Amino acid sequence: MAAATARSVTMHKVGPRRWGGVKRFVKKTWNTVKEKVVKIAKKTLAFVPKVFPRTCNNGVMKLWGVYLMAFRDSRTINGRCIVKSDAATRVRMTNGAKLVFTGDVTFVGDLLFKGDKEPEHDRHLAKWRKHPMVEVKQMAEIAGSLRFKRCRAYSETSINVPCFSAKILKMDRKEANLVLEDCKASGSALAAKGLIQFDGVLQLQDCAGFTGAAEINDVQQHGGSMQFHRCRGYDGGGLWARKFSSTFGQLEFVDCEASSGGGLYISDEKEGALLLTRTDGDGSVTFNNCSSDSDGGAIYVDALKVRIEGNVMFNNCSAADLHAGIVFAKATEVELSEDFRSRVRCPLGSHIEDEGNSTRLVALSCVSCRRGWIHVDQDATKGCVPCPTASDTCTPGSLQMSRGLMVQDVHDPSRNKTLACPNYEACRGVAPDDMCAIGYRGAGCAQCAEGSQLADSSVLSCVQCSKDLQDAAMQVGFWVGKSALLFALAAKSVLGNTGSTKPSSVYLNQLMSFATLAGTIMSAMLQTPAAQELQEGFTGVFFQASALVMEVTSGQTSSTTGTGQSLQCVLGYVGLESALWKGHLGFTVLAVLLTAVLSIFKGYQVGLVVGINCFWPEFMGHFGRYFVCYRLSPDSGLEWPQAPDFSGGLALVAACLLLCSAAVLHAWWTLYGTGANDSGPKVAQEQLHVAFLTAPYQEAYAKFETERLLRKGCFTFLAAALPITASPALQLIFLAMVVLASLVIYALLLPYSNSRWNMTEVAQLTTCMVMIFAAFGLLSSDEHWGQSKIAQIIVIVATAALAAGICVTLAVLTVRSLLQERAEVAKKARLEKKKKDKQKEQSLPGRQQNWNTQKHLPGLQPLTPPGIHPDRPPGIIAPSTQHPERPPGIIPPSTKQLPAHPPGIQPLHPERPPGIIPPSMQPQPANPPGIQRPPPPRPLRRMSQQPPAIAATALGTEMQAPPAQDGTGDLTQPAPAAS
């Protein structure tokens, strides 16, 4: 009873709490559903047009969704009002609708007033649009986004009918945004007696009116942005004002047109004023592409005072009659800054002129140059100048020089002389763009611009140095790794020499020599105009591939593939200042270090052979760069840009060249030792480096490798001292002399010990002479009036294909010879191993040797049980038979014709009835007493190699003759035992 009472009391206490929680949950759920329903309803009703409110309750008007002001609908809102709008609130106003605020108005939020599309024929349009669409009779403060789009306001009798008007406009907040887009009126799209702007954006686009896009009596801009784009009018395309003061912020007139004052029109002779002042960091004033039909393409001023100074820019502003195409200022006081005219930008082909005849009148215009004169400078204050000589195209606003020519400065009398560019690729010859290509500068575009350095292929080419640390590290590693790899390959070739001639080394030397010369000749061909036209498309890819093949096979930097590497950039990456002599010194240090390392481990003779053979030709090329000279004009002297700038510097370089060459050649000559290259035992006695140098040649011409070294050094020196871009004909003449000398020497002496190598060398030199003649023909016919581009293209493509084909062929021969040599070395190693194994086997004791001999004689082997062999474990199948042992009495299959089976006996065949046993599988009778069955057959050698049966009666046992073999190599039935 007590428990029931306690339980009832507990239920009485807990029950109301539970009901309270349920009520709260239901209430919360109801409120949530209600809010969602209201939100959905608002979103739905937002697209349903509503009637615009007639009053401003408690000074606040809240707007949301879409409102409609019908035809001839008018609303007048009295008193001060704050208009608060939600996002994307729109008010659609039809023809004749009008909205008037009698007091001050503050616009907050996002509000859009949008007019209907203008009908093509509407007789009542002028009747019902004699008033502004939205009018604020006091101050209108913009605190949000207020936009007007496609508004119209016309009147046949009045020109003071705007789309939006206010007595005072105030914009002092960052979020203030007043935009009028595609608004047209008989007066102006925007009208006000005063405008004060400290922040925000005032923007008028595609607006038109009699007094332009906006008519404001007094404008004061102290910040923010004011923009007029594509506006039109009669007096002032963008803005008409009596007083205009702009000291801070952005002011921009773009593509504005008018009869007078294409961008800005100021008119008030008594109190009018124009004040445009900007200092650095205070914003800018810009007039772009503004024009007028009469006076003042950008600004027309007829006022009391004019002051323009600071960052005020005029770009391509003009007047139709070329009278005051930029600024027409007529005032009592005119103040223009000293740099005002320098900030005026006229169209290319015209310059600025001041047509004002007194201090009270300023009439600035852009006047076009007459025919035969040019103006391509951005500074409009410079006058027009005559067109330069040797120009292909010269108009008042553009210039195209002939190929390989340039002018440093067209408008500078001291620098407008026509100059020749040593490197045609560096010279564009285009104005008003840069005369030099990217990375070049100076007279003749012969100097490297900031961020670029001299290329390794030519001192007349420049390479853009990388600013990325990873790319810089990769370039440094590539430069060091390339030299180290070539040195390692050459060292391996010398150290791997065995005293005999290797065809692979001969072919490799011939390949590198031919590729060096062929790449130089091809670079001369590619300088012709016909080759320049072939640089695009499939032929361009073909040229690049051919040049890449020649560069890789030559082992040196070629001028044919461009200028991708620069040792000067590498010096900058490691923190050193770039200089030609520093690059030369850095290369020398690297070569000496690699040579010293090899000399320490393998001897100084081997180190000198490898070092001189790898690095001396390129070392000579570094010397040749100091002797590069060119002439920029016919009446100027030679210029040596890379020679030392002190007196006698070039002579010092020449002395160092001769001294180093003599020292290197003397060291090379002494490496030969006695110079003998005899066959027989003397070859093995020769030192390693001497055998490498003398092995390919006959005994009388053992030191002929010196000729190849001199030829490679001359090629590299001439290619560097006479760049193909500056002196193509001169370089080809000297190269032809070197090639012809080598050709005559090889044809007369035939120094190689192999006649095939001699013929290959003579064929290569003959091919180089043919290529040189072809390059001469192209260069000579380049300027001839009867030249044929088709013939030039055929010659260029055929020469490139010939050079690339020979390089590929020699590379294939080198690889094939190398593989054959490796195969011979492997074969020789196997033979040596077998010989050693045989010698080791013969050195065993006589007992073991006798036992091995008896083991392989079948006639002397003791009888063993079936399946047991003394020379292998049980169960191992003999390699020659490859089948398991057969039981006794089983004859192995034979290819001979078997005799016919007796009647009733069928051969072993799948169709035989069950139960029939072939005779060969029937059990054999037991052996008689004392008679032992011969052992089963085992694999034996050929019959010709088996010893005859030996009867060993002294042993007291019967010996079996070796079983016979059939044609298949299997054993036949054994012969009967000999008694």
The confidence score (pLDDT) of residue 16 equals 59
Residue type, 391: S
> What pLDDT score does 937 carry?
56
Q: What is the mean pLDDT of residues 509-532?
A: 76
pLDDT confidence bin for 885, thresholds 50/70/90:
low
| CA dist 334 → 204, 306, 361, 365 (Å) | 29, 5, 8, 17
Q: What are the pLDDT digits (tens) for 579-622?
A: 899 999 999 999 999 999 999 988 888 889 889 988 998 899 99
Please compute Rg for the chain using Cα positions: 52
For 971, phi then psi, to 5°, come to -80, 140
Angle between helices 789-842 and 755-781 (to 10 degrees): 160
The pLDDT tens digits for 477-516 are 888 888 888 788 778 777 766 666 778 878 877 887 788 7
Given a cut of 70, is residue 668 above it in pLDDT? yes
- Return the DSSP state at 339: T
Is it the case that residue 828 has pLDDT exceeding 80?
yes
Residue 207 pLDDT level (bands cut at 50, 70, 90): very high
- Residue 467 C-alpha from the chain's centroid: 15
DSSP 67: E
Tokens matching residue 368: 């076009």
Q: Which of 55-59, 356-360, 938-942 has the lowest mean pLDDT?
A: 938-942
The stretch 280-292 carries a mean pLDDT of 85
Q: How confident is the model at residue 969 (pLDDT cuts 50, 70, 90)?
A: very low
Give me the pLDDT at residue 538, please: 55
Provide the pLDDT confidence category of residue 331 given band limits of 50, 70 and 90. confident
Of the ranges 380-384, 392-396, 908-912, which is most confident?
A: 392-396
Confidence of residue 316 (pLDDT cuts 50, 70, 90): confident
55 compared with 872, residue with greater pLDDT: 55
Spatial separation of the C-alpha atoms in residues 158 and 163, rounded to whole Å? 14
Q: Residue 684 pLDDT > 60, yes or no? A: no
Across 659-667, average pLDDT? 92
Q: Summarize the confidence of residues 434-457 as an average pLDDT.
A: 90
Residue type, position 600, single letter: I
Q: How confident is the model over 913-929, as a mean pLDDT?
A: 53
Q: Could you tell me what percent of the chain has a pLDDT over 90?
A: 22
Q: Please, which pLDDT band fits residue 872 given cuts at 50, 70 and 90?
A: low
Sequence-distant (≥ 6) Cβ neighbours of residue 403 within 8 angstroms: 424, 429, 529
pLDDT at 680: 40
Q: Identify whether the C-beta of residue 368 lies closer than 8 Å to the C-beta of residue 396.
A: yes
The type of residue at 921 is M
Give the pLDDT score at 938: 55
Phi, psi of 824 (to 5 degrees): -65, -40
Rounded to an integer, the average pLDDT of 431-456 is 89
Between 894 and 360, the more confident residue is 360
The amino acid at residue 768 is C
pLDDT band at 940 (very low <50, low <70, confident <90, very high): very low
Name 898's Cβ contacts closer than 8 Å, sequence gap at least 6.
907
pTM, to two decimals: 0.59
Query: Phi then psi for 490, rounded to 5 degrees?
Result: -65, -40
More confident residue, 501 or 717: 717
Greater model confidence, 127 or 612? 612
Q: Summarize the confidence of residues 85-89 as an average pLDDT.
A: 86
Residue 574 has pLDDT above 60, yes or no: yes
- Cβ atoms of residues 227 and 246 within 8 Å: no
Q: Is the pLDDT of residue 256 over 90?
A: yes
| Position with higher pLDDT, 497 vs 568 | 568
Over range 828-843, report the average pLDDT. 84
Q: Which residue has the higher pLDDT, 319 or 113?
A: 113
Q: Per residue in 89-110, pLDDT tens?
A: 899 887 778 899 999 999 999 9
Cβ 324 vs Cβ 295: under 8 Å = yes
Q: Token match 């003009």: residue?
A: 318
Which residues are within 8 A (CB) of 325 and not within 5 positions of it... i.e. 6 or more apart? 291, 292, 297, 317, 318, 319, 364, 365, 366
pLDDT at 534: 67
Mean pLDDT rounded to a whole number for the chain: 78
Buried-state track 627-636, b at ≥16 Cβ within 10 A, e below 16: bbbbebeeee
Among 451-465, 537-551, 900-914, 955-969, the least confident range? 955-969
Higher pLDDT, 383 or 544: 383
Under the banding of pLDDT at 50, 70 and 90, the label for residue 170 is very high
In sequence order, which ranges of 105-238 are alpha helices (DSSP H)? 125-128
In the predicted structure, residue 279 carries a pLDDT above the cut 60:
yes
User: Do 702 and 749 touch, CB atoms closer than 8 A?
Assistant: no
Of the candidate ranges 59-68, 276-285, 415-424, 943-952, the one whose mean pLDDT is the lowest: 943-952
Write down the domain spans for the chain.
211-368, 371-433, 469-822
Percentage of the chain exceeding pLDDT 70? 74
Q: Where would I find the beta strands (DSSP E) of 119-189?
A: 134-142, 145-149, 152-153, 164-171, 177-181, 184-185
Strands 385-386 and 291-292, sheet pairing: unpaired
What's the N-to-C CA distance of the chain in angstroms? 129
The pLDDT of 732-748, averaged and rounded, is 91
Confidence of residue 136 (pLDDT cuts 50, 70, 90): very high
